[in-house]
Amino acid sequence: MSPTVIFRTHSDIEANIVRGLLQAHGIWSILASDVPHSIFPLSVDGLGEVRISVHPDEAEEATRIIEAHRTDIRKGKVIRLNDQFARLEERVGYRFRDRGLLEHALTHSSHAQEDVTGAVTDNESLEFLGDSVLGFVVADLLFRKFPTYTEGQKSKMKAMLVSKPALAQLAADIDLGGSLLLGRGEEKTGGRQKHALLADTYEALIAAVFLDGGIDAAHAFITRQFEPLIDRFAEDDFPARDDKSALQEWLQARGLPPPQYRVAEESGPPQRRVFTVEVRIQGQPTAEASGHSKKDAEQRAARLALEKLGKER
């Protein structure tokens, strides 16, 4: 007798989960796919179908087992396996062609280790790829948004944007924790709220979007997520402009010696001291400014010198 197809999906991960479920109940199955498989558990074009077949005498029991395990116990409702991440896709603003990639991104190592078939892969490789994609796109956004900022300034901004706390907050904003595939132990210890776990999964999600839709889709997702944070930098004028470095670079580019700073005056009580600093270029007084610290006064003086030099060009 020919095997009976009892389950169809476009996700390798989902197929292996179902196959493992059947095996745990003593039902052996056959997995067939229309497309070749790569190092990632995904269909090449997002349209390949994966089929699970069993002996005709066990088809009814296999179907019953699958249907019985479609209940989402935490939320008390039944969800088709293919649709369990639909709400997350809405929050992300991206519809996956291959949902197997999304499942892969959400699969924590604790869940993969508990899989009886050993066929489920965790998301650590996707984290690595997502980190690189995120870094590239954020650097591109900062380059375009702040063309006059120095490399050091943009590096500081980037470091803050891609930090674990920042990524964990963005993950929480889209309730990524609610969709994680965790092992029983990790679930009990509050894995859905752990910042490091959320940040890593967020990077894996970025990689999944990139693999599924290309760099344009990943760029669009990251832009939607990070633009409000980047705009806040602009509104707060953060990080503060390093005008001393900018002035020195301006002079070096023209073959001139670096500027010289000297404290011209100190005034005010000890707890509210005011320093007045003069900046000299080629030995000539060029600008003067005051601040509550020598460093602040030097930055202000450098800024005034840059403005004066710019007008003289």
Residue carrying structure tokens 């693999």: 211
Question: Which tens digit of pLDDT belongs to each residue from 5-26?
Answer: 988 877 777 777 788 878 877 8
Among 115, 131, 200, 212, the active-site one is 131
pTM of the shown model: 0.57
203 given a catalytic annotation: yes
> Pick the residue with more confidence: 199 or 272?
199
Residue type, 128: F
pLDDT of residue 281: 93
Among 12, 103, 203, 278, the active-site one is 203
114 given a catalytic annotation: no
Give 236's pLDDT tier (boundaries 50, 70, 90). low
CATH number at residue 39: 3.30.70.790
Same domain membership, residue 135 and residue 43: no
CB pairs under 8 A, 24+ apart, for 59-67?
59/4, 59/6, 61/25, 61/27, 62/6, 62/7, 62/22, 62/27, 62/29, 63/6, 65/21, 65/22, 65/25, 65/27, 66/6, 66/7, 66/18, 66/21, 66/22
DSSP sequence for 223-254: HHHHHHHHHHHHHHT-SPP-HHHHHHHHHHTT
Same domain membership, residue 130 and residue 205: yes
User: Which of 208, 236, 264 is at the close of a domain?
Assistant: 236
pLDDT of residue 83: 57
Same domain membership, residue 262 and residue 229: no
Same domain membership, residue 214 and residue 148: yes
User: Which of 21, 49, 81 is at the close of a domain?
Assistant: 81
CATH number at residue 180: 1.10.1520.10
Q: How far apart are CA 270 and CA 95, in angstroms?
A: 62
Give 205's pLDDT tier (boundaries 50, 70, 90). very high
pLDDT of residue 219: 96
Query: Which residue segment(s) compose the domain that 301 sits in?
Result: 243-312
Residue type, 292: H
In a domain, 101, yes or no: no
The yes-or-no verdict on residue 37 having pLDDT over 60 is: no
In a domain, 12, yes or no: yes
- Count: domains in the chain: 3
Question: Which tens digit of pLDDT belongs to each residue from 82-139?
Answer: 556 788 999 999 999 888 889 889 989 888 887 666 666 889 999 999 999 999 999 9
